[in-house]
């Protein structure tokens, strides 16, 4: 970090980043003179024939470098950029890429960006990933041949019609779509994991790399992939998965699924890091909005949330904005403990310059 502070251009910053130690991370740099770069910082383990080699890392010169193109947009959103990462023996379980594509579309849609507008872009709740499952479920409900209980079918249809395309706390239809996606994935992939379950009854496949496989299986529309009677067609079997999901949700919440909102399922809170080791009564949990999930721009799950929102324009640092969940201090006796949480939950900007007078000490590296 100290060397990066004194770098004079983007090429020098990239060279410093690629020689740095630590775990591999996406690295972005932007110059006040114009231009942006993206590469990977840290040591990337070398693999030979799929096996890790101890203390053997990818040479810094072989780590790719991206420069901003005509669109002037470089982003990662934790996805795997194939254009410069395919040559690397990189990791796995990368994000599917829905967030990255959504961010890119929003950035390219306008050119009059300000700190305030970029800040609110980070709160975007559109979830394009669920469009696929909504369309699949609607098709199944409309064309299924089984004589399913009319109440369940109509309740599921109404829930699908009410979905507004977002994962907001007050969005209806999201609970059903989430359960339908999970159950469909489990049903389609069950034959592939049967041997794993026989060897380890508690086996659970939780990686995110299944989305592509599931969509390829759905594209075959082979009815043998889903359980059902011999005479039932593909749409009927998909509808059965949807109706089973609706029944489970209805029984769990004692309400029609068309009335369920995302906030009825998504309970979010912020815990102090020490609450697991010390009596949790000393650390009050801070409530978080139910908005968001890990497949929309606003990442917010039961185990993962954004650590801060910081927007800085090179050359316009005085206009920077910053908000964070909790506060500026983790000490429960500090007046800055939880001092930013209300601003965070209100989802409004807080100028970084307003925090400057509160700083008592400065640390120089």
SS3 sequence, 293-355? CCCCCCCECCCCECCCEEECCCCCHHHCEEECCCCCCCCCCCCCCCCCHHHHHHCCCCEHHHH
Q: Per residue in 178-213, pLDDT tens?
A: 999 999 999 999 888 889 999 999 988 877 778 888
74, 145: one domain: no
CATH number where 185 lies: 1.10.1400
> Is 364 part of any domain?
no
Q: Per residue in 291-328, pLDDT tens?
A: 999 889 999 888 888 888 889 887 788 889 988 888 77
The last residue of one of the domains, among 264, 298, 313, is 264
What 3-state class would DSSP assign to 208?
coil
294, 352: one domain: yes
The last residue of one of the domains, among 264, 285, 318, is 264
pLDDT tops 90 at residue 279: no
> Is 117 part of any domain?
no
241, 176: one domain: yes
79, 143: one domain: no
202, 78: one domain: no
Report d(CA 177, CA 165) in Å as an integer: 11
145, 230: one domain: yes
Region of poorest pLDDT, from 141-155, 160-174, 245-259, 262-276? 141-155
201, 298: one domain: no
Into how many domains does the chain fold?
A: 3
> Is 225 part of any domain?
yes
307: containing domain: 269-358
> Is 340 part of any domain?
yes
Please list the residues that pair with 45 across neighbouring strands: 57
Report d(CA 129, CA 134) in Å as an integer: 9
Q: Per residue in 28-78, pLDDT tens?
A: 888 877 788 888 888 888 877 777 777 888 888 888 888 876 567 888 787
251, 140: one domain: yes
> Is 86 part of any domain?
yes
176, 231: one domain: yes
b/e per residue 221-255 (b: at least 16 CB within 10 A):
eebebbebeeebebbbbbbbbbbebbeebbeeeee
Tokens 């969509």 found at: 215
> Is 111 part of any domain?
no
């Amino acid at each position: 970090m100290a060397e990066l502070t004194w770098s004079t251009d983007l090429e020098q910053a990239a060279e410093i980043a690629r020689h740095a130690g630590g775990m591999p991370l996406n690295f972005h740099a932007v110059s006040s003179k114009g231009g942006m770069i993206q590469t990977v910082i840290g040591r990337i383990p070398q693999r030979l024939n799929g096996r890790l080699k101890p203390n053997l890392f990818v040479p810094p010169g072989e780590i790719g470098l991206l420069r901003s193109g005509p669109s002037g947009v470089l982003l990662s959103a934790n996805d795997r950029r194939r254009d410069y990462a395919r040559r690397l023996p990189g990791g796995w379980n990368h994000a599917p890429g829905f967030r990255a594509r959504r961010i890119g579309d929003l950035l390219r849609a306008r050119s009059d960006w300000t700190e305030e507008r970029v800040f609110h872009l980070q709160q975007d709740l559109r979830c394009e990933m669920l469009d696929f499952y909504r369309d699949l479920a609607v098709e199944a409900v409309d064309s299924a041949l089984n004589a399913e209980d009319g109440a369940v079918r109509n309740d599921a249809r109404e829930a699908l019609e009410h979905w507004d395309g977002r994962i907001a706390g007050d969005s209806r239809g999201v609970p059903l779509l989430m359960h339908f996606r999970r159950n469909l994935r489990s049903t389609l992939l069950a034959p592939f994991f049967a041997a794993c379950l026989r060897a380890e009854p508690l086996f659970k496949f939780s990686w995110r790399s299944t989305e592509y496989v599931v969509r390829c299986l759905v594209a075959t529309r082979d009815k043998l992939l889903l359980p059902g009677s011999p005479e039932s067609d593909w749409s009927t079997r998909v509808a059965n998965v949807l109706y089973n999901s609706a029944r489970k949700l209805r029984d769990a919440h004692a309400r029609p699924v068309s009335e369920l909102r995302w906030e009825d399922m998504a309970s979010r809170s912020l815990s102090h890091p020490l609450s697991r080791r010390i009596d949790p009564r000393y650390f009050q949990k801070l409530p978080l909005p139910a908005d968001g999930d890990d497949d929309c721009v606003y990442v917010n799950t039961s185990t993962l949330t954004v650590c801060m929102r910081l927007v800085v324009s090179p050359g316009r640092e005085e206009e920077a904005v910053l908000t964070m969940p909790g506060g500026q201090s983790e000490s429960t006796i500090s007046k800055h403990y939880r001092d930013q949480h209300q601003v965070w939950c209100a989802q409004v900007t807080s100028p970084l310059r307003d925090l400057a007078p509160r700083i008592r000490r400065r640390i120089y590296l």
